[in-house]
Amino acid sequence: MAAVKLMSSSLFPNVSLGLPCGETNWLMSPYNLHTQIAKHASKKHKGFRLKAGFWDSIKSGFLKNSTTQVVEPPSTLEEEEEPLPEEFVLVEKTEPDGAIEQIIFSSGGEIDIYDLQSLCDKVGWPRRPLSKMAAALKNSYMVATLHSVRKLPGSEGDDQKTLIGMARATSDHAFNATIWDVLVDPSYQGQGLGKALVEKIIRALLQRDIGNITLFADSQVVEFYRNLGFEPDPEGIKGMFWYPKY
C-alpha cells in the first residue's frame, strides 16, 4: 500500500489518538462502514427535502427571462441541514474517595480554546496560533467533545470539568466529509472513547446523507481506523498535496 506525506491545513498536523505525530499518513475511506451502519438505521431515514416552492421559484425565473437567475433557497433548508447538537453521559463511575466521575459527550457546546491547547500539550501535539485554532473550530461542520466531570461528596455545585477528548469534521454539506484532529487525553486512552467520538460523527454525517467520509491517519493508528470500518483506498492513494516552497 502506497503512503503519502501530508502537509495538513487542519487545526493540527495529523489525525491521531494523541500519539506522536508521524510523517506518514494514509488516506482512508469507510467504503464498508456506510453499509454496516445503514443496516441498523431507521427505515424512516430522513434525507434532504427541498420544498416545492423552491423548485417553482426556479421554474418561474427561467420562464420570465432568457438569462440564468440565481435563486436563493429557503432559509429553512440551511437550518435543517445543520447537525442537531447532542449531549449525554457516556460513562459514569464512582471513585475510591467517593467522587463520581462522568464522561460527557457533546456535539453542540462551546470549547474553551485554552482547554483545547492544554489537551494538545498532553498528547504532544505542536502548538498552533489560538486564533487559527478558534477559526478551525468555527468553520467545522461538526465538533464533538468529551469532558470529565467529577462530583465530589458534599461539594454540590462545585464540579470539576476537564476536556479529555475532541474530534471534528469538515464537509461540503452534500456529498463529502473529512474527519480531523481526533485526540484523547493519554490517561483516558484504551477505554473506547476515541472509537465513540468517531462513530458518533459518522452517524451524524450519515443521517444527513453524507456517505463519502475520509480521514488522514498516522501509520500508528491505521489499524484503529480499520476496526471502525475504514480502509485504505483499494485503488491506491489518489490524494495529491501542494507544499509551500518557502
Cell digits of residue 142 = 461538526
Residue 135, number of CB atoms within 10 A of its CB: 12
| CA separation for the pair 246, 244 (Å, rounded) | 6
Among residues 114, 141, 188, 225, the one annotated as catalytic is: 225
| CA separation for the pair 104, 119 (Å, rounded) | 16
Active site residue 225: yes
| CA separation for the pair 187, 66 (Å, rounded) | 65
Cα separations (Å) of 194 from 82, 111, 113? 23, 18, 20
Residue 83, number of CB atoms within 10 A of its CB: 20
Helices (H), the chain: 33-40, 52-64, 75-81, 113-123, 130-138, 193-207, 222-226
Q: Give the neighbor-by-neighbor strand order of the sheet with 142-151.
A: 87-94, 100-106, 142-151, 160-171, 176-184, 212-218, 25-29, 231-232
Active site residue ranges:
225
